[in-house]
Amino acid sequence: RMSLEQFRPYVLMMNARARACIALEDKNYDRALELIDGGIGSIRDFFAEIERDDLADSCREIQFLEEWSERIENNRPLTAADRLRRELTQAVEHEDYERAAQIRDQIRELAI
Q: What are 57-104's pLDDT values in tens digits?
A: 999 999 999 999 999 999 999 888 889 999 999 999 999 999 999 999
67 and 97 part of one domain = no
**pLDDT at residue 79, rounded to an integer:** 86
Backbone angles phi, psi at 87, to 5 degrees: -60, -40
> Which residue, 14, 20, 21, is CA-closest to 60?
14
The CA-atom distances, in angstroms, between 83 and each of 69, 74, 106, 107 are 20, 13, 11, 10
**pLDDT at residue 16, rounded to an integer:** 99
66 and 96 part of one domain = no
pTM for this predicted structure: 0.74
For residue 37, the enclosing domain spans 2-75
Q: What is the mean pLDDT of the chain?
A: 94
Cβ 49 vs Cβ 79: under 8 Å: no
Cβ 29 vs Cβ 69: under 8 Å: no
84 and 70 part of one domain = no
70 and 99 part of one domain = no
49 and 22 part of one domain = yes
Question: Per-residue confidence at 1, pLDDT binned at 50, 70, 90?
Answer: low
Separation of CA 32 from chain center? 7
